Structure formats: structure tokens, C-alpha cells
């Protein structure tokens, strides 16, 4: 019984690693041009057709969380597309030139209609859209040894990527004029 569970987990892991290699996104983060246009290219290395939808979300932060709000007023093309093996698709969005809001482009896989497929994995890419080419700006923060949580303010006009003296689950990124609470998980070791 135990052997069959281990075998099943290994097979699932092989499927996941194989599936992850079937799509490349370039660039992984987007900088708006002076005219407000943001571009990203998606390329399929899959062996079969895949279907995708694209959405633009306004990006803000509250406490420890990124908050994504649907932003239907931002033109993006295409909203839906499919990729044959080896094909690529350029996605374009037109952001307001004067806006100081930050956005994320979500590229989400649409499940196929194949019946009897068992476990189905659908991927979602969340790409940040920055205002400035030098974003995110690196900022090193020393986490106090006896603290469980730390509140970090970003008073600058640039997105900051926080480097901590321990390895967090996610690398924290703090939007301008935002405060992020970062908590150390039990067992995290300070460096």
C-alpha cells in the first residue's frame, strides 16, 4: 500500500514538472512604455493545443496580502487565445499614461474538454506591470532575532523588493507608499 502511494506521488511530480516546462513567458515582469503599452510573449513547448484567457488586475496591498481587483477598463488583446505546439502569442495592454496605479496581467489556462483525464493541472501566471524600468528596487531589511513579525514601510515612489536575513516563502515586494507585514514562519532560521 505504501509503495503504491509513493509511486503515485512520484508520477504526479513527474507530470507537474513536465507540464511546467510547456509554457514560457517573456518577460516575467512588464514595464509600461511611455505611451502606456505593456507587452508580453507566451510560447508553447507543449505536445498538444492549450487554451488561455488573459485579464488585467489592479494591484494594491493590504497587510501581508497582495490585493487584485478586476480592471475591465484596461484594453488587452487577445483576451482569449489558444497555442498549438511551438506557437507563440504576443499579448498587448494599453494602460493609462498618467496613472500611478500598479497592475498585474493574469494569464490563466482554460481546462480542456477531454473526458476521463483524471488529475488536471491548470496554470496561472501573474505578471507584475511596473511604471519604471528600475523597478523593483532592492532593499535589505534585517529581521530582529526575537521578532515574529515586522512591519515594513515603503515611503519611496518605486516598488521595493525586500531581501531579508532569512528565507521567506515568497520574496516580498512592497508597492510605493504601502506597508507590508512580514512574518517569520516557525522554524525559519536567521542568517
Q: CATH fold of 22-130, please?
A: Immunoglobulin-like (2.60.40)
Mean pLDDT taken over the chain: 82
Provide CATH 2.60.40.10 ranges for the chain: 22-130
148-168 pLDDT, tens digit per residue, is 888 889 999 999 998 887 766
Q: Is the pLDDT of residue 182 over 60?
A: yes
Model pLDDT, residue 183: 81
Distance from chain centroid for Cα 153? 22
Q: Could you tell me the sign of the dihedral formed by the alpha carbons of 179, 152, 191, 128, in that order? A: positive
Of the pLDDT bands very low, low, confident and very high (cuts 50, 70, 90), residue 12 is very low
Cis amide linkage into residue 187, ω under 30° from 0: no
Q: Is the pLDDT of residue 101 over 70?
A: yes
Q: Is the pLDDT of residue 2 over 60?
A: no
Angle, alpha carbons 32-26-106 (nearest 5°): 70
Burial class of residue 101, CB neighbours in 10 A (0-12, 13-18, 19+): middle
The Cα-based distances of 157 to 46, 102, 127, 136, 137 in angstroms read 40, 12, 20, 11, 10
CA dist 112 and 132 (Å) reads: 37
Segment 110-138 mean pLDDT: 81
Model pLDDT, residue 117: 60
Segment 68-91 mean pLDDT: 94
| Secondary structure of residue 179 in the 3-state scheme | strand
pTM over 0.85: no
Of the candidates 65, 39, 66, 44, the residue with the CA atom closest to the CA atom of residue 54: 39
- Asked whether the beta carbons of 45 and 22 are under 8 A apart, the reply is yes
Cell output for 103: 497592475
Q: Is the pLDDT of residue 123 over 50?
A: yes
Of the pLDDT bands very low, low, confident and very high (cuts 50, 70, 90), residue 128 is very high
CA dist 74 and 70 (Å) reads: 10
Model pLDDT, residue 147: 83
Of the candidates 69, 42, 67, 49, the residue with the CA atom closest to the CA atom of residue 57: 69
Of the candidates 76, 121, 100, the residue with the CA atom closest to the CA atom of residue 176: 100
Number of Cβ atoms within 10 Å of the Cβ of 68: 16
117 or 140: which carries more pLDDT confidence?
Answer: 140
Of the pLDDT bands very low, low, confident and very high (cuts 50, 70, 90), residue 93 is very high
Amino acid at each position: 500500500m505504501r509503495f503504491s502511494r509513493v509511486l503515485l506521488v512520484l508520477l504526479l511530480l513527474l507530470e507537474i514538472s513536465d507540464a511546467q516546462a510547456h509554457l514560457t513567458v517573456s518577460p516575467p515582469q512588464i514595464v509600461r512604455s511611455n505611451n502606456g503599452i505593456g507587452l508580453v510573449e507566451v510560447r508553447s513547448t507543449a505536445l498538444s493545443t492549450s487554451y488561455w484567457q488573459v485579464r488585467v488586475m489592479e494591484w494594491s496591498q493590504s497587510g501581508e496580502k497582495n490585493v487584485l481587483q478586476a480592471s475591465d477598463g484596461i484594453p488587452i488583446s487577445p483576451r482569449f487565445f489558444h497555442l498549438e505546439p511551438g506557437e507563440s502569442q504576443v499579448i498587448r495592454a494599453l494602460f493609462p499614461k498618467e496613472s500611478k496605479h500598479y497592475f498585474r496581467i493574469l494569464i490563466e489556462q482554460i481546462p480542456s474538454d477531454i473526458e476521463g483525464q483524471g488529475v488536471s493541472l491548470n496554470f496561472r501566471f501573474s505578471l507584475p506591470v511596473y511604471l519604471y524600468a528600475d523597478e523593483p528596487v532592492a532593499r535589505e531589511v534585517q529581521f530582529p532575532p526575537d521578532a515574529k513579525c515586522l512591519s515594513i514601510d515603503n515611503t519611496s515612489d518605486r516598488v521595493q523588493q525586500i531581501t531579508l536575513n532569512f528565507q521567506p516563502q515568497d520574496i516580498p515586494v512592497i508597492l510605493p507608499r504601502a506597508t507590508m507585514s512580514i512574518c517569520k514562519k516557525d522554524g525559519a532560521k536567521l542568517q
